[in-house]
Structure 1
Amino acid sequence: MIRFIVLGSAALFTLATTAHAADPAGKPASTIEFWSGPYAGVHAGYGSGRARDVDASGPDSYRDIDGWLGGVQIGLNTRMNGLVLGVEGDIAATGIGFSDVGQGFSLDGNLDWLATIRGRVGFIPTERVLVYGTAGVAFAGFDLDLNGGGQLFGGNGTHTGWALGAGVETMVTDKLSLKAEYLYNDFGSDSYNLPDPVNIALRVHTFRIGANFQF
């Protein structure tokens, strides 16, 4: 899955860097101002990271988490010459999680959804290409279930943290754009009663490809 996303991102970057050069010679310049106004779209990708069990009485324990994600986004761009400022919000359902089976117990953790509200700052190397950095606040819904001794304990919580990343986006028509994006999401810990309190902190890397329609 990671290889697919990396190859897809590389292909999109190649498309972005050649889109301007591919225009026929002598073709009149478009009167449409790209990268300005509202947009909405969809995305899909892969996430991986770690769930950390914060133990105040001893060393922390870590569990690797990974899985798919898919969702929607909406945003607004403002263009100032070669600079683009914007804001974007997104939400995704995910299959990111872990399953730990031991003698007499099983522990399952699932990141049910992931959302961010971020600012974007980018530049336009060619008219149809936007390269940007992005940062903002991130939210995640996490479920933790323990099955031990014939008893099932469960809890869910909403983690709040921050997101930081970068991406490249290219206009493939006058209204439709394709993008590839990386985000690092760092969440604070939340407490789960299983039945003893367990504090879980999350860190997730996401790799996403998507499409936006410019209004």
Structure 2
Amino acid sequence: MKTFTLAFLASLFASTAIAQELTNDNIDPAIPAYASNPHTLGLDTFSWQGAYIGVNGGYATGKFRDQIDASDANTGETAGFSDTVSRSGFLGGVQAGYNWQHERNVYGFELDLQGGSMKKEKAVFDDSINSFKQKNSVDWYSSARSRLGYAVSPTAILYATGGLAYGKVSTGVTASDGTNTESASWKKNTFGYTVGGGTEIAMTDNLTFKTEYLYTDLGNAKTLNFANDNFGTSLRGETRFDFHTIRAGINVKF
């Protein structure tokens, strides 16, 4: 989490510095100080208001927490165990939205769709005879978020964002007792939420660049429902899917 926070702050300050440099490049040293206000140089003609579409890419990481309960059909005994596994991967997707602007205040909404490789398989136990392996993944997710920003310069904004998230998650297990091997998998659509913030700068009248951090929680999904006659064992499981994402994107403004 600290690494993600530092990376986001670094990208935020870098983007703001670029925006300031772009603004300063338009100031002629010969112009008197009283006229060097960007609003007197035509830069205030740029407006954030309007629709936009774009693409993004980034990196996500999180710890998926599994709670698994097992019962033996022959003895009636039950047992439970929990497991936390770090998952990470690259994500990419598309976004579209609309901004309104009132003086320095910029507000609007954004929709996005993300896919990637956030998955991992882990051996919960694996000895010379018995083994039990499981894997979890976020296949894809989308969000519908509001954005509330402030123009720190005519061509740069800082913003907070948050809203609903929806996605498809997967879980699979492979169990073996040295004689029998069985595998099963499950997929589930689940709702959650996402919050974060970012910075966006205008590169041209119609092209902007943004960096963004998001925390996404897709909630708890009952993803295991495993019963097999060969083992005489049934498994029930629940997984918590939440993760952090830092990404960069380009928007084309209309």
| Structure (1 or 2) with the larger CA radius of gyration | 2
Instruction: Show the counterpart of 1:65.
Output: 87
Relative distance call for 1:100 and 1:59 in structure 2 (3 A) is closer
Select the structure that is richer in helix.
2
Residue in 1 aligned with 2:215?
A: 184
Q: Does 1:91 pair with 2:122?
A: no
Amino acid at match of 1:89: L
Deviates most, 137-146 or 126-135? 137-146
Contact kept? 2:91, 2:114, Cα under 8 Å: yes
Aligned to 2:51: 38
User: Is residue 43–residue 154 contact of structure 2 (8 Å, CA) maintained in 1?
Assistant: no
Which runs of 4 or more aligned residues in structure 1 lie more than 3 Å from their structure 2 counterparts after TM superposition?
A: 5-11, 30-33, 54-60
Instruction: Give, in whole Å, the separation in 2 of the partners of 1:122 and 1:185.
Output: 20
Counterpart residue number, 1:80:
102
Aligned twin of 1:170? 201
Alignment partner for residue 52 of structure 1, among 49, 59, 65?
Answer: 65
Please tell me whether residue 16 in structure 1 is matched to residue 15 in structure 2.
Answer: no
- 2:139 is the counterpart of 1:112: yes
Distance 1:156 1:14, change over 3 A: same
* Equivalent residues in 2 for 1:149-168, closer than 5 Å: 149=176, 150-168=181-199
Deviates more, 1:189-198 or 1:125-134: 189-198
SS at match of 2:101: strand
Q: Which consecutive unaligned segments of at least 5 residues does structure 1 have?
A: none
Say how many residue pairs are matched. 214
Whole-angstrom CA distance in 1 between matches of 2:97 and 2:193: 18
The match for 2:242 is 203
In the alignment, which of 145, 156, 169 is matched to residue 172 of structure 2? 145
Q: Percent identity?
A: 26
TM-score, normalised to structure 1's length? 0.90
Consecutive unaligned residues in structure 2, runs of 5 or more: 32-39, 70-78, 227-234
Q: Deviation of residue 151 (structure 1)?
A: 1.2
Query: Post-superposition shift, 1:58?
Result: 5.5
Work out which of the residue numbers 135, 155, 158 in structure 1 matches 2:162.
Answer: 135
